[in-house]
């Protein structure tokens, strides 16, 4: 195999990786929108504070969040570890624009 053929193959592989990366991002976004027992997606308006120069202003935005629960094991003095559930959320959309 010549050096030019190797470079060509490398460029081809890089292009395939970029295409797969875009496909994975789209699949991830689609998965965020599915609500089931594992996670829930909700969009609602929230008031957020933004800086404009030295001023802070309050702006209403449409925020899309994914909610899920994580379970943690708390190891204490006794033999049976306690488990606690923590509700988590992540912003995935702001005003209809994806942020992930």
Element (H, E) at 64: strand 55-74
On whether both 28 and 41 belong to a single domain, the answer is no
* Same-domain status, 41 and 80: yes
Q: Do 43 and 8 share a domain, yes or no? A: no
Range of the domain at 78: 36-100
Tell me the three state secondary structure of residue 41: strand
Same domain, 57 and 79: yes
Q: Is 48 exposed, middle or buried (0-12, 13-18, 19+ CB in 10 A)?
A: exposed
Given a cut of 70, whether residue 77 has pLDDT beyond it is: no
**Element housing 17 (H / E):** helix 3-32
Percentage of residues in the chain with pLDDT exceeding 70? 95
pLDDT per position as a tens digit, 58-68: 999 999 999 99
Q: Is the dihedral of CA 14, 17, 23, 29 positive or negative?
A: negative
Highest mean pLDDT among 35-39, 50-54, 90-94: 90-94
Our count of domains for the chain comes to 2
Q: What is the pTM of this model?
A: 0.68
pLDDT at 48 over 80: yes
Residues 44-53 have a mean pLDDT of 90
Say if residue 100's pLDDT is above 80. no
In sequence order, the β-bridge partners of residue 49 are 58
Q: Do residue 28 and residue 59 come from a single domain? A: no
């Amino acid at each position: 195999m010549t050096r030019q053929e190797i470079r060509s193959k490398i460029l081809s592989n890089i292009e395939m990786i970029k295409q797969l990366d875009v496909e994975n991002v789209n699949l991830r976004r689609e998965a965020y929108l599915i609500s089931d027992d594992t996670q829930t997606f909700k969009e609602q308006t929230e008031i957020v504070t933004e800086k404009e120069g030295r001023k802070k202003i309050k702006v209403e935005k449409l925020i899309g969040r994914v909610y899920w629960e994580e379970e943690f094991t708390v190891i204490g003095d006794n033999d049976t570890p306690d488990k606690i559930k923590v509700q988590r959320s992540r912003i995935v959309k702001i005003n209809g624009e994806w942020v992930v």
